[in-house]
Amino acid sequence: MTFRKEKAVGGGWSAIVFGAGRITVADVSRTRDAKPRVRACDSFAREGSELDALKRLKSAKRLARHRCTTLLWHGQYQLLQVEAPGSLPADAPHQEVCETLRWRIKEMVDFPVDQATIDVLHIPVQGSRTPQLWVVAASHAVLRPRVELFQDAKAPLAAIDIPELAQRNLAALFEEPNRALALVAFNDKGGLLTVSYQGELYMTRHIDVSGPELSGANAAALHERVLLDIQRSLDSFDRNFSAIPLNRILVGPLPGGEAFIEYLGGNLSLPVAAANLADVMDFTATPRLKETAAQADAWLALGAALREG
């Protein structure tokens, strides 16, 4: 399980994301000064087990191009924002920071920390705020079956990621210079709000409302509930990171969500617009992704495949 952005290497990533009865595979390559190119992207109903699906992908040479990454889902890990340990120098080795934070979060997670993988991301210091870190923790009971699944399929799993960082990767494509970006997206598991700045994740919030609910028959009743979640989160961001200017909110692809986007735009002080990945990614090889529904299906897989390092 690795979450840090490291020095990029050649090639790219293939992301395999397992949803409720579906599997999405995205293959993305990146070159300097060009839009990320989506070489292939498929979303299809899963037949049989996850292992059967991976073996079919492997036999079809669908995973042969790049290293693979996959995602944990909300509830399979914990993401905590904590103060950087003052007992360690700023240039302390990454593993030493992880081990120090392992015991600091002992009472904050619902599994034994000595049976978990811990990773840490630094949040760049802004203003006079005390340096902060993201700590990602996942139990070996969750990670081990995921690793063994890819090993059994002989698929080249090189990283396990989380939705917040996949969405951060997408947000970075839409960011404007010296401005933070709020991005909210929904799928069948719920909503995810992130605020990023200069490619770094500063704030995140899970929203317990799914995409289908927001475009369903009773969607209007949920609009205010989601609005309040977003308002509280943006107020918190403003209090904690007042030195960072936030200038707009984007809504990830949401089929049938026009009324929701219009509602947010009429009730938030910041401009609200729909995010279109066709503006920031090269879909020459995957023209189907110009459609909103296809982007919604592939959203997190594309974000995971954008990882660096």
pLDDT per residue of the chain (309 residues) written in tens, 0 to 9: 554 444 434 468 999 999 878 899 999 999 888 999 999 999 888 888 889 888 888 776 666 556 899 999 999 999 999 998 888 887 889 999 999 999 999 999 999 999 999 999 989 887 777 888 999 999 999 999 999 999 998 888 999 999 999 999 999 999 999 999 999 999 998 999 999 999 999 999 999 999 999 987 788 889 999 999 999 999 999 999 999 999 999 999 999 999 999 999 999 999 999 999 999 999 999 999 999 999 999 999 999 999 986
The pTM for the full model equals 0.93
Domain 176-275 fold: Nucleotidyltransferase; domain 5 (3.30.420)
Domains 79-136 and 176-275 share a fold: no
Residue 289 tokens read as 């992704």
Domain boundaries, the chain: 79-136, 176-275
DSSP per-residue letters across 233-298? HHHHHHHH-TTS-EEEEEE---TT-HHHHHHHHHHSSS-EEE--GGGTSB-TT-GGGGSHHHHHHH
Residue carrying structure tokens 């944990």: 72
- Out of 3.40.50, 1.10.10, 3.30.1490, 3.40.1010, select the CATH number for domain 79-136: 3.30.1490
